[in-house]
Amino acid sequence: MGTTDSTSTDHRSTGRAPAGRDRDDEGRARNARPRDGLGRPLPYGEEGVPRQPEGVVRRPEESVREAQRLLDEGKPFHAHEVFEDAWKSGPEEERELWRGLAQMAVGLTHAARGNVTGGARLLRRGAGAAEEWAAGGELRPHGIDLASVIAWARELAAEVERGEGVPVDAGARAPRLRGAA
């Protein structure tokens, strides 16, 4: 009973805590595995990119600026986290806008990972949510050129389905949230 056989897992070799699940300071389950730039988990102990902190409350303009920076760096998974924070902390009447933007960022993530079906589906779903939100009359919320972002998502979804450049280069194919630079 007191000995360890060669088939048991030693947490020192994995870099993982012996507890069953990674937890944050409040005890909520959080996956502490390092991630690559597209949010894919890496083995414990490998060097990943810095994680986007969750639950950050920003002004909408800060959310747009931070998300654009991450998109430009080829980190749409991380940009999705920024949009998700905005949807969870912002006013109820803007939830669908931010949710749609988050879905488009996840769609780009999947397309960059080579997931044709998931990429195209989420790009279209996000475009549809943003389009539905914009039906209320606002096409430039917080400076976002929503019409061009929606067009970008639909065009990229079609390209991905045709197999053009799959997996896509996330940084090169990032949308311009505030329109052409």
State yes or no: pLDDT of 173 exceeds 90: yes
Express each pLDDT in 55-105 by its tens digit: 889 999 999 999 999 999 999 999 999 999 999 999 999 999 999 999 999
Q: Give me 70's structure tokens.
A: 């991450």
- pTM (two decimals): 0.80
CA distances in angstroms from 1 to 5, 162, 174, listed in the order given: 10, 59, 56
Mean pLDDT of 116-139: 95
Q: Closest by alpha carbon to 96, among 66, 71, 128?
A: 128
Which amino acid belongs to residue 49? V
Mean pLDDT of 97-124: 97
Is 71 in a helix, a strand, or coil?
helix
Express each pLDDT in 15-40 by its tens digit: 444 456 665 566 655 567 888 888 88
| CB contact at 8 A, 177 and 70 | no
